[in-house]
């Protein structure tokens, strides 16, 4: 069943229930904007603290955009790109695209102009929809990309090189277009994180999207009464596919534009959120804010918050142990996934398995997993190999890249590039990215193991371990450490701490510096290698 039918079902059953709330905490709260007021005004996401829409309004807006696209010649199989920050317009635009039979192509909001141009051309995009934050970047490449392509602008003061989405959709029919969709129809193109160069275009069909809905609700049991707090960017499969649990249950979700601890706790409190998906840095920030006294839990209504889950990266067990000290009644879960496997959940820990924190879990709902050696043979339990997954959510292909597709798709199995091992109970632990393994003196060293160890130091905010070139050993291990604010750590402290590690795993170099992470919370190790492995290494000064 195409995912658009779930939206239509919610409209029939819950037309006047709130489906989406947008909160912009950087704007002073003067008053709240109801969906009735929202219908009568020209919405500007940057000028209102809080906006909300119902399922009925969301569907109407999706239909109006779909009919606008059709009037401009968009048909089944065409592509429409979305370059927007999280806002109330995002999901209606996404569903409007799907209702035409076209493919939605979400773009990373951090893309530079050349990356936007590259992705638009690679995905054969026909229309680019963009917001006010991207005027400068789009204008820079407008002459290169608007030949036979249309530019639609979402916001106030439409630039001259684009067309105004708000005024154009206002005059379009609010009835759903009569376009027949099947599970096998192409639905969306997502882009890889591009950590090894320009990103790859990942093609998914409607079956993939629907499977992600079922996986999410099966894992986290969303009911009509749940409220999901969505903080990560919607262009990423993780945020959207977790929201799909709200879509399937017809429940409310809150889009929060900000990641400060007080913003998150305030949103949970005021909107009565029950489920929150965090990235590791945000969870760390909340704990540090509590420990420092910057936020006081008694100032917030948090009793309804039932589930905190984390994904997108390995989760340090020490973080969850500390989290449970402050939130003992929370269920905890972690989900593993890739954009190539339609986001989170192909491997899943499960709230009942908190005793296995540190593992990513077992095969998720409707998924199969295996761990293989370099020849594709399944390894014995306890040995390290490459994690492979198989299920209805595996991508169709890398669009326009047969070689890359053939490298990772074999007999229906997706080779993830992640090194993993299975313990005696069948739980899978990530060891590291295949490309991040450090080979020093012939020994394979897995950075995540060292990072988890160093992160237990009470003054460490974040850590990344990379390999630096070495004439004798090939590579040596380097630990880049970001101390907590107003705290100092010395190299001698770290060296002393690491004496309990096997000698070959001990960092040969310690650097104190900030750790760059992308919008989905993953450490940008290619950037760190470029800084520190490209030439002589200069230690950054301790922060204090």
Cα separation of 515 and 464, whole Å? 7
**The last residue of a domain, from among 201, 228, 255:** 228
Q: Which residues contact 500 (CB under 8 A, 6 or more apart)?
A: none
Question: pLDDT at residue 53 above 70?
Answer: yes
Q: Is the confidence at residue 45, as pLDDT, over 60?
A: no
Residue 148 pLDDT greater than 90, yes or no: no
Nearest Cα to 133, choosing from 262, 218, 257, 225?
257
| 198 is a domain residue | yes
Does 213 score more than 60 pLDDT? yes
Instruction: Answer yes or no: are the C-beta atoms of 21 and 267 closer than 8 Å.
Output: no
Residue 27: pLDDT band by 50, 70, 90 thresholds? confident
Residue 352 per-residue DSSP state: G
451: which 2 tokens?
């990072």
Say whether pLDDT at 143 is over 70.
yes
Asked if residue 142 is part of any domain, the answer here is yes
Radius of gyration of the chain (CA): 23
Q: pLDDT-based confidence at 41, cuts 50/70/90?
A: very low
How many domains does the structure of the chain reveal?
2
Residue 289 pLDDT exceeds 80: yes
pLDDT of residue 36: 47
The token pair that represents 516 in the structure block: 């760059």
For the cut 60, the answer to whether the pLDDT of residue 56 exceeds it is: yes
Instruction: Provide the CATH number for the domain around residue 196.
Output: 3.40.50.12780
Task: Provide the 8-state DSSP code for 523.
Answer: B
Q: Kindly state whether residue 341 falls inside one of the protein's structural domains.
A: no
**What's the pLDDT score for residue 471?**
67
Confidence of residue 316 (pLDDT cuts 50, 70, 90): confident
Q: Is residue 493 part of a domain?
A: yes
Q: What is the mean predicted confidence (pLDDT) over 519-531?
A: 78
Q: Is residue 304 part of a domain?
A: no
The last residue of one of the domains, among 228, 254, 272, is 228
> In Å, how far are 74, 254, 304, 372, 534 from 273, measured between CA atoms?
38, 8, 7, 40, 46
In the chain, the percentage of residues whose pLDDT exceeds 70 is: 90
Best CA proximity match to 265, nearest among 313, 53, 256, 32: 256
Q: Would 347 be classed as within a structural domain?
A: no
Q: What is the pLDDT of residue 538?
A: 34
Contact call for residues 380 and 331 (beta carbons, < 8 A): no
Q: How confident is the model at residue 75 (pLDDT cuts 50, 70, 90)?
A: very high
Least-confidence region, from 38-52, 114-128, 226-240, 411-425: 38-52
Range of the domain at 491: 437-532
- Average per-residue pLDDT for the chain: 88
The predicted structure's pLDDT at residue 421? 93
Q: Is residue 415 in some structural domain?
A: no
Which carries the bigger pLDDT value, residue 287 or residue 194? 287
DSSP H or E run through 482? strand 474-483
Give the per-residue pLDDT at 499: 87
Distance, CA of 46 to chain centre: 23
pLDDT at 383: 92
**115: nearest Cα among 81, 72, 86:** 81
> What pLDDT score was predicted for residue 519?
66
pLDDT of residue 307: 96
Q: Is residue 124 a part of any domain in this protein?
A: yes
pLDDT band at 441 (very low <50, low <70, confident <90, very high): low
Domain end marker among 194, 228, 262: 228
| CB proximity list for 234: less than 8 A, separation 6 or greater | 84, 86, 90, 91, 94, 106, 240, 243, 255
Answer whether residue 485 shows pLDDT above 90: no
Q: Can you give the CATH number for the domain in which 509 is found?
A: 3.30.300.30
**Range with the lowest mean pLDDT among 348-357, 416-425, 462-471?**
462-471
Q: Is 525 helix (H, G, I), strand (E, B) or coil?
A: helix
Nearest CA among 323, 321, 319, 307 for reference residue 242: 307
Q: How confident is the model at residue 407 (pLDDT cuts 50, 70, 90)?
A: very high
Give the rounded percent of residues in the chain with a pLDDT score beyond 90. Answer: 64
**H or E segment and range at residue 151:** strand 150-153
Instruction: Give the pair of three-digit tokens for residue 33.
Output: 């904007």
Q: What is the pLDDT of residue 388?
A: 96
């Amino acid at each position: 069943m195409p995912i658009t039918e779930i939206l239509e079902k919610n409209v029939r059953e819950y037309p006047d229930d709130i489906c989406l709330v947008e909160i912009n905490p950087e704007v002073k709260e003067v008053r709240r904007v109801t969906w009735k007021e929202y219908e009568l005004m020209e919405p500007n996401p940057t000028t209102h603290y809080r906006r909300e829409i119902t399922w009925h309004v969301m569907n109407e807006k999706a239909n109006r955009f779909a009919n606008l696209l059709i009037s401009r010649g968009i048909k089944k199989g065409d592509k429409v790109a979305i370059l927007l920050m999280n806002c109330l317009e995002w999901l209606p635009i996404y569903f409007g695209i799907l209702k035409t039979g076209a493919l939605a192509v979400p773009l990373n909001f951090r893309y530079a102009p050349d990356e936007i141009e590259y992705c638009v051309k690679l995905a054969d995009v026909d229309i680019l929809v963009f917001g006010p934050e991207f005027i400068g970047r789009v204008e820079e490449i407008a002459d290169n990309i608007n030949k036979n392509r249309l530019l639609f602008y979402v916001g106030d003061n439409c630039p001259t090189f684009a067309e105004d989405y708000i005024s154009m959709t206002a005059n379009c029919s609010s009835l759903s277009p009569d376009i027949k969709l099947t599970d096998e129809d192409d639905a969306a193109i997502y882009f890889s994180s591009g950590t090894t160069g320009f990103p790859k275009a990942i093609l998914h069909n409607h079956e993939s999207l629907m499977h992600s809905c079922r996986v999410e609700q099966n894992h986290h049991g969303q009911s009509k009464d749940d409220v999901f707090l969505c903080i990560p960017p919607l262009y990423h499969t993780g945020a959207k596919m977790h929201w799909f649990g709200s879509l399937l249950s017809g429940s409310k979700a809150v889009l929060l534009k900000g990641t400060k601890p007080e913003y998150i706790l305030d949103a949970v409190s005021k909107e009565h959120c029950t489920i929150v998906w965090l990235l590791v840095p945000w969870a760390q920030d909340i704990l540090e804010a509590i420990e420092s006294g910057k936020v006081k839990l008694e100032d917030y209504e948090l009793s309804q918050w039932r589930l905190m889950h984390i994904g997108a990266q390995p989760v340090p067990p020490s973080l969850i142990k500390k989290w449970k000290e402050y939130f003992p009644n929370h269920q905890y879960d972690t989900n593993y996934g890739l954009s190539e496997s339609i986001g989170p959940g192909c491997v899943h820990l499960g709230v009942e398995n908190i005793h296995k924190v540190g593992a990513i879990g077992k095969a998720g709902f409707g998924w199969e997993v295996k761990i293989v050696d370099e020849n594709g043979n399944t390894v014995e339990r306890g040995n390290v190999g490459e994690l492979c997954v198989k299920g209805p959510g595996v991508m169709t292909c890398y669009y326009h890249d047969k070689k890359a597709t053939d490298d990772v798709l074999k007999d229906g199995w997706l080779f993830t590039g992640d090194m993993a091992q299975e313990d005696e109970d069948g739980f899978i632990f990530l060891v590291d990215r295949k490309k991040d393994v450090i080979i020093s003196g012939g020994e394979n060293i897995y950075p995540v193991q060292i990072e988890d160890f160093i992160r237990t130091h009470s003054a460490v905010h974040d850590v990344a371990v990379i390999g630096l070139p070495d004439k004798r050993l090939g590579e040596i291990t380097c630990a880049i450490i970001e101390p907590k604010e107003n705290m100092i750590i010395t190299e001698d402290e770290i060296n002393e701490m690491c004496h309990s590690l096997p000698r070959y795993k001990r960092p040969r170099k310690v650097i104190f510096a900030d750790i760059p992470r992308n919008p989905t919370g993953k450490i940008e190790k290619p950037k760190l290698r470029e800084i520190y492995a490209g030439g002589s290494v200069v230690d950054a000064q301790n922060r204090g």
